[in-house]
Structure 1
Amino acid sequence: MTVHDPIFASAPVNRKAIPDDAAMLRAAADLTREYSVANPAIYWPDMLASALLGYAALATAIMVDSVPLALLSGLVAMLALYRAASFIHELTHIRKGALPGFRLGWNLLVGIPLMIPSFLYEGVHTQHHARTRYGTADDPEYLPLALMKPWSLPLFIIVASLAPIGLILRFAVLTPLGLVLPSLRRLVREKYSALSINPAYRRRAPEGEFRRQWLWQEAGACLFAIALVTSPAVLGWKPLLVYMAVHSGMTVINQLRTLVAHLWENEGEAMTVTAQYLDSVNVPPPSPFAALWAPVGLRYHALHHLLPSVPYHALGKAHARLIATLGTESPYHRGNYAGMWPLVGKIARSTMVKR
């Protein structure tokens, strides 16, 4: 397998000039057709085990007096809950009826207790996959980070570390106030109801069944957030502080993963599917830690942009077949990287280039 080394490729590429590679696109569709079905026997145990391990470790971190054991338990909680939370990405792509009850179960067990109900992502992430939106000003999940100022990258991570505070304000404060202030309710819906990184993105009002899902999920997150901020009166401060620390760490890991999910070199022009693939990143085996920082198939993010309907548990097999089938001259091989830190370094060096 060819793994692209980003160390010697720090100059941004004119991606809008990259034509589609018909052979790669045809092979991707043909070779992976059999992998498009989500398997409930994989989804449910994986999500449930991750959530239960995460909450058990979180409870241990809160209750034990030993600092080393508390730190170890907190780390386990952070990684396990991060994996459980990552299923929000799968929810946006699951075909209707493929996994009955999974959306409800995930929201009750993970989305609401972590204050990230699925309405924050559903209907948003699919716009990132739209052929004419990716990498443009209309993409809610794209910023040309590699072309921005050097201070933008640390700021990108620092903001993520404050996510638990922002989510508490969003659901414990703004949601109740929005019930009595229609203008605030509209502002919250447009600007603070999406897990996006594009500050210019504005969200439309939900309709139909999705609106009903949005309402009960927001109500649940609101009640949980209020219970969370009032909990010190009954439980003391330690449970809240440990929860916040674990949540913050989980969000920082996800933000680092987001930072290396793409090369962020597009300046707003529409791109071909092949150009979108080359602006995205796979971190396949043998990278030893990618399964921890990019769980639930997120290590195959470039492949996911080629085949967004393929469930996470089939991406590894699809990747292996494409690597074995497509010659080394195929652009598919240029979307594979060795790990997180070389990619961070590449993007950081790109921000230091004078333009």
Structure 2
Amino acid sequence: MAKTASDTVSLTRQAYALTEDLMRPNAAIYWIDLLLSAALMWGGFLLAATTTSLAVGLLAGLVSMLALYRALSFIHELTHIRDDEAPGFRLGWNVLVGVPLMTPSMMYEGVHNIHHVKDRFGTALDPEYMPLSRYTPLSLAGFLLVALLAPVGVVIRSAILTPLSFVAPPLRRFVKQRLSALVINPDFVREDMARMRPEWLAQDIACWLWSWAVIAATIAGWLPVRLVLTGLVIFSLATFLNQARTLVAHHWDNDGGKMSLDEQFLDSVNVPPPNLASELWAPVGLRYHALHHLMPRLPYHNLGKAHARLTQALAPDSLYHRASQKGLFEALATLFRRVGRKPATGSQAAE
């Protein structure tokens, strides 16, 4: 029997009723998690870049890559929490992670929120959606592999295009509208940068100066080339892992038209326990992606509790139980089997 939008509205009401006490972010958890992740990221990186042991270097690099991925993933939380809910966290994250990786919070703030707008989700106006299930296996593999070049892209943007844009107004408009957002949809044009917020401008300039400092120190011989290359490899692998996670965050079946609420929910994916590995490849709550779309304001550290409550309380035929996948490789295999075929319509997906 097909589900209707009223089913999703009812599910949302039930979900909020069951998790009302979980909606407040815990600033201490945010700070402790970020500081531990940043310490493992930078410590593992330094060990991997300086050790003479191949085994130690590979293990340290793996730890650094996973920690970098986790620390970087907090950019998603920054789009959903208010500054007063975790005082200083936005600035701390940008200092420890965003600016050094030349991926400041401004590149997601005001962008990711559009993905949650009900009449934009899955359409051509959604910055984080494309009908990937209609791709060929080769083009889907290209989408996955291009993520390895992300570190090169942010260096070019920060070290070359940003400073040039301040003396070339047309380039400045291009950088702000097309190169200042973390998106999936390449046709997305960012409109809210016409009047850049002062803090966003500060982040942009900080990335520019940081990139020049690293380049200058490398050329002068103060910064070993091995250190720089190790950092780029670790960063590259982390962005590749995130791209793989992105492929299983949705079913990517929509062809650009507006979707009903139940279609939007069923297009999103949870990879919950007992899959414990999802904590590594979909950190900071990203493994509960469908639940996040149901309740965007639910803080990441309470998503597991909320999922457990909903799983236990909701009827077996609830839409909620249909949003889960077993794991990364199973979900990727399912997607690659479906690519190139005509995607199911919204009504078919909701049946």
Shared fold (TM-score greater than 0.5)?
yes
What's the CA shift for 1:20?
Answer: 3.8
Q: Deviations over 1:258-307 (max 9, x none)?
A: 11100100111111222111100100001021000000100100000000
- Change in CA separation of 1:354 and 1:138 when aligned onto 2, cut-off 3 Å: closer
Residue 135 of structure 1: CA displacement?
Answer: 0.1
Higher RCO (CA < 8 A, seq sep 6+) = 1
1:206, distance to aligned residue in structure 2 (A): 3.1
Q: Secondary structure at the match of 2:137?
A: coil
**Matching residue of 1:343:** 331
Deviation per CA, 1:87-131: give whole Å up to 9, x if none. Answer: 000000003411111000000011011111000000000000001
CA contact (8 A) 1:20 1:272 kept: no
Q: State the Cα RMSD in Å.
A: 1.5
1:96 and 1:207, CA in 2 relative to 1: closer, same or farther beyond 3 A? farther
CA distance in 2, matches of 1:223, 1:350: 45
| From 53, 76, 81, the counterpart of 1:94 | 81
Cα distance in 2 for residues equivalent to 1:100 and 1:154: 41
1:18: Cα distance to partner?
A: 5.2
Distance 1:158 1:213 in 2: 33
Q: Which runs of 4+ in 1 moved over 4 A?
A: none
Aligned pairs for 1:70-85 within 5 A: 70-85=57-72
| 1:320 equivalenced with 2:308 (yes/no) | yes
Q: What does residue 125 of structure 2 align with?
A: 138
Distance across 1 between alignment mates of 2:161 and 2:192: 17
TM-score if structure 1 supplies the norm length? 0.92
| Residue 153 (structure 1) aligns with | 140
The corresponding residue for 1:39 is 26
Instruction: Quickly say closer, same or farther: Cα 1:151–1:20, change in 2 above 3 A.
Output: farther
| Structure 2 letter corresponding to 1:113 | P
Separation in 2, partners of 1:28, 1:95: 22
The answer for the alignment partner of 1:201 in structure 2 is 188
Matched residues in 1 for 2:119 and 2:192: separation? 22
Q: Does structure 1 conserve the Cα–Cα contact (< 8 Å) formed by 2:134 and 2:342?
A: no
8 Å CA contact 2:64, 2:234 repeated in 1: yes
Whole-angstrom CA distance in 2 between matches of 1:87 and 1:138: 24
Give a deviation string over 1:34-78, Cα, whole Å, max 9, x none: 111010111100001100111001000111111111111111000
SS of 2:166 mapped into structure 1: helix
Residue 262 of structure 2: aligned partner: 274
1:26 CA displacement: 1.5
TM-score when normalising by structure 2: 0.93
The residue type paired with residue 239 of structure 1 is: L
Aligned residues, how many? Answer: 339
Aligned to 1:178: 165
State the SS of the aligned residue for 1:32: helix
CA contact (8 A) 1:57 1:77 kept: yes
